[in-house]
């Protein structure tokens, strides 16, 4: 199993705007980007979600409206490791979203956030995400999200993404247990390929999660006031979850290395068992080969050739030798 990024060329771009405060809620979708920008509410929290990055015109319009830095736009479009950057008037945060497992592979995409004083822009590579349930909570005014600002909205989205990592880890844990059972049953090349695939997947996940720990740590130490002091403990909770995920990844890394050692040891053990059986068989046939070789020589004068029961005596001696050697090997517990 190997972590694999989807590369579908999906030209469809979906724009969505959710504006809310304690007393009101509006949602706009299927509108042109200009209309989305016109419906922003300066006195409310505005969440702009962009699904699909194929239309650069839409991204440029958003860039011009919010005066986003060109390097930020490049980071949105290109593949980046998780990080946070402070641009003075807004914060940029990017990470990987693991949202389901398909055909034994981790399906993921990059998601980037731009956090301002009254807006949060999320850029996703393709349609579909993990936030449908959270959108309903905003609409139904459940929890504290409608009472908070944009920084709390960012926390909730990051928290949902990090929680999804546990689903992937649970799947990996189940695969490790299954592989261990398969190794005891068979040492086929398929098991070796699966272990190698899982090892590569864990390497990718470590690359995605370890920088995220540092990025959230920097987000907690924001000096420009984007993160309110009352909300810092929420980000601290996410940070603790990421630490737990990294510790689990380290544990799984050791377990996969152990699987590789178990596979090789099992393979060597079974090879040794085969070699032992072949050695026993070869040892048994050594004296038989000697006897047959002696009486297979073409000398004219060999006394035993004139014995009436010579043939049966030789057979008796060979069967007796085989029986004696098998008894001795079993007595020594060599097989």
* Burial label, 30 (beta-carbon count in 10 A; 0-12, 13-18, 19+): exposed
For residue 68, give every residue at least 6 positions away whose Cβ sits within 8 Å of its Cβ, in sequence order, or none: 62, 87, 90, 114
CB atoms within 10 A of CB 226: 18
Numbers of helices and strands, H then E, in the chain: 8, 8
DSSP-derived letter for residue 77 is: H
Identify the structural domains of the chain with CATH numbers, from first to last: 4-266 (3.30.460.20), 276-331 (1.20.58)
Per-residue DSSP letters for 165-233?
A: HHHHHHHHHHHHHHHHHHHHH---HHHHHHHHHHHHHHHHHHHHHHHHHHHHHHHHT-SSSSS-GGGHH
Q: Residues 31-81: pLDDT tens digits?
A: 888 888 889 998 999 999 999 888 888 999 999 999 999 999 999 998 888
Lowest mean pLDDT segment, chosen from 31-45, 253-267, 315-329: 253-267
pLDDT band at 3 (very low <50, low <70, confident <90, very high): very low
Kindly tell me the sign of the dihedral angle through the C-alpha atoms of 183, 188, 190, 194: positive
Q: Residues 106-158: pLDDT tens digits?
A: 678 899 999 998 999 999 988 878 888 999 999 999 988 999 999 999 999 99
């Amino acid at each position: 199993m190997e972590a694999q990024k989807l590369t579908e060329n999906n030209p469809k771009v979906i724009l969505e705007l959710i504006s809310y405060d304690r007393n009101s809620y509006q949602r706009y979708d299927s509108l042109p980007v200009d209309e989305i920008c016109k419906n922003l509410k300066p006195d409310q929290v505005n969440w702009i979600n962009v699904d699909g990055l194929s239309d650069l015109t839409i991204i440029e319009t958003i860039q011009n409206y919010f005066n986003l830095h060109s390097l930020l736009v490049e980071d949105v479009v290109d593949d980046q490791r998780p990080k946070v950057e402070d641009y003075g008037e807004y914060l940029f945060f990017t990470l990987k979203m693991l949202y389901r497992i398909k055909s034994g592979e981790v399906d993921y995409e990059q998601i980037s956030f731009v956090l301002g004083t009254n807006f949060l822009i999320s850029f996703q590579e393709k349609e579909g995400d993990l936030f449908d349930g959270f959108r309903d909570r905003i609409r139904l005014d459940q929890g504290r999200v409608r009472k908070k600002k944009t920084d709390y909205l960012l926390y909730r989205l990051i928290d949902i993404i990090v929680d999804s990592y546990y689903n992937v880890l649970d799947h990996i844990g189940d695969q490790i247990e299954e592989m261990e059972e398969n190794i005891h049953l068979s040492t086929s090349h398929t098991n070796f390929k699966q272990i190698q695939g899982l090892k590569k997947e864990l390497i990718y996940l470590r690359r995605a999660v370890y920088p995220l720990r540092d990025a959230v740590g920097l987000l907690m130490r924001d000096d420009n006031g984007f993160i309110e002091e009352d909300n810092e403990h929420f980000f601290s909770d996410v940070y603790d979850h990421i630490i737990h995920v990294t510790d689990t990844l380290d544990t799984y890394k050791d377990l996969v290395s152990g699987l590789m050692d178990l596979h090789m040891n099992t393979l060597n053990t079974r090879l040794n068992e085969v070699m032992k059986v072949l050695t026993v068989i070869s040892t048994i046939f050594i004296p038989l080969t000697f006897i047959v070789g002696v009486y297979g020589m073409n000398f004219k004068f060999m006394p035993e050739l004139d014995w009436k029961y010579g043939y049966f005596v030789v057979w008796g001696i060979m069967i007796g030798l085989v029986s004696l050697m098998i008894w001795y090997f079993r007595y020594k517990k060599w097989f």
